[in-house]
Amino acid sequence: MDTKKCTAEVWCASNRMVTDNKTSWIAGAHLERFTAAALTRVGLPPADADRVAALMAEADLQGSDGHGIIRLPQYIKRIQAGGINVRPNIHVIEERAAMAVVDGDNGMGHLVVSRAVDLAIEKARSAGVAWVGTRASNHAGPASLYVRMPVAHDMIGLYFAVGNANHLPPWGGMEMLLSTNPIAAGIPAGDEPPVVLDMATTVAAYGKVKAKAKRGEPMPEGWMIDRQGRPLTDPKRAHEGFLMPIGGHKGYGLALIVGLLAGTLQGAAMGRDVVDFNADHVTPTNTGQAILVIDLAAFGGAGPFKAAVDTLVRDIRDSERLPGVERIWLPGEQSHGRRAEYARTGVPVASALVDELDQLAARLGIVPLRPQVS
């Protein structure tokens, strides 16, 4: 890490990016500005571009490296191909006291899901609990972003989504009719960090496969198998195989249920209707997501609940460990730690990705990520 060569004034002043051979550490705010500039340039209204950029930077800051700036080239490609509506009319099409369905009008998923979460929080405040689902949405980044929103209001968030490409066959099958359909939960705590679970129903999310490919690393056995049922460990051959569900038939069942709740229930794509957004940049994905928000105020108040969570968290963290285990982690605790670390050090981004993003910047005519060294 040598910042002495740096001569671009703004860059040096903000110390926004330091680089070694393979990785650049980039300030979250710098990633955010870059992303917003790119999205504005391809037609998003500035306020929408800012909103999406903030959520994408937040994904990188918490270490969800498969869901942050790594996705920008793909988003831009889809927008430029006409596969995303940059001026959507995001609107409610079904509504009752404790539920709504939001039609995203094929807008950026981050905008559609944010709208759904805001509405669910508002409804939960009076009804106690609310479910808001989306249709005609798009990829929205890591689920954990959206369950953290109700947590900030002393509410629990549960999130379900249909993944944007089918990588999972039914148990015993070969046709990829299911996606990695994630489940996420955000649970408020008191003095402890919130408990935040964000898991694909497959052993690994496809974003992690892509990240391995980007870094040139092999996948562990168990992530994928090929069509002969043999372990597949080369992420560059990912298209030849499929992901494995957690717990065998149980993970298959979970992925199916999540897809029915997040997709079918709202009239969004599921099964054979799911568009592979890695291969097809034009067809609207009709992505579905759903958020359930539970207001702790309705359940006897947030105070006693959060105190109970703190106690449980500490009981778990301090409990007896198996030989060789250094620490017992709570779900979300490592992201929480990374969030603090990356706010200080910047987000580590593979230099190959920085190159790709700066080529994108050149094509779009925006200021590149990497400072111009004279």
User: What residues from 150 to 179 belong to the interface with a second copy (CB under 8 A)?
Assistant: 156, 158, 169-175, 177
Cα radius of gyration (the chain): 21
Residues facing residue 185 across a β-bridge: 158, 197
Q: What are phi and psi of 306, to 5 degrees?
A: -65, -35
Q: How many residues bind a second copy (CB under 8 A)?
A: 75
How far apart are CB 214 and a second copy at their closest, in Å? 23
Under rule CB under 8 A, residue 97 binds a second copy: yes
Looking at the Cβ atoms of 130 and 149, the one nearer to a second copy is: 130
Looking at the Cβ atoms of 88 and 245, the one nearer to a second copy is: 245
Looking at the Cβ atoms of 18 and 260, the one nearer to a second copy is: 260
With contacts defined by CB under 8 A, name the span among 42-50, 51-59, 317-325, 347-355 that binds a second copy.
Answer: 317-325
Nearest to 77 by CA among 369, 214, 350, 280: 280
Residues 217-236 that bind a second copy (CB under 8 A): 228-229
Residues 176-195 that bind a second copy (CB under 8 A): 177, 183, 185, 187, 195
Residues 338-367 that bind a second copy (CB under 8 A): none
Where on the phi/psi map is residue 304: left (φ > 0), alpha (ψ -120 to 50), or beta?
alpha
Nearest to 185 by CA among 220, 222, 145, 214: 145
Residues 60-79 that bind a second copy (CB under 8 A): none
Nearest to 64 by CA among 184, 152, 236: 184
Looking at the Cβ atoms of 69 and 101, the one nearer to a second copy is: 101
Residue among 316, 340, 352, 362 that touches a second copy (CB under 8 A): 316
CA distance 7 to 29: 20
Tokens of 141: 């980044």
Tokens of 199: 């898991």
Residues 99-158 that bind a second copy (CB under 8 A): 99, 101, 126-131, 133, 156, 158
Residue 69 · residue 351 · CB < 8 Å:
no
Strand 183-187 vs strand 195-199: parallel, antiparallel, or unpaired?
A: antiparallel
Residues 251-270 that bind a second copy (CB under 8 A): 251, 253-254, 256-257, 260-261, 264-267, 270
Looking at the Cβ atoms of 177 and 213, the one nearer to a second copy is: 177
Residues 284-313 that bind a second copy (CB under 8 A): 292, 294, 296, 298-300, 304-305, 308-309, 311-312
CA distance 124 to 111: 20
Tokens of 71: 């996705």
**What amino acid occupies position 153?**
H
Residues 267-286 that bind a second copy (CB under 8 A): 267, 270-272
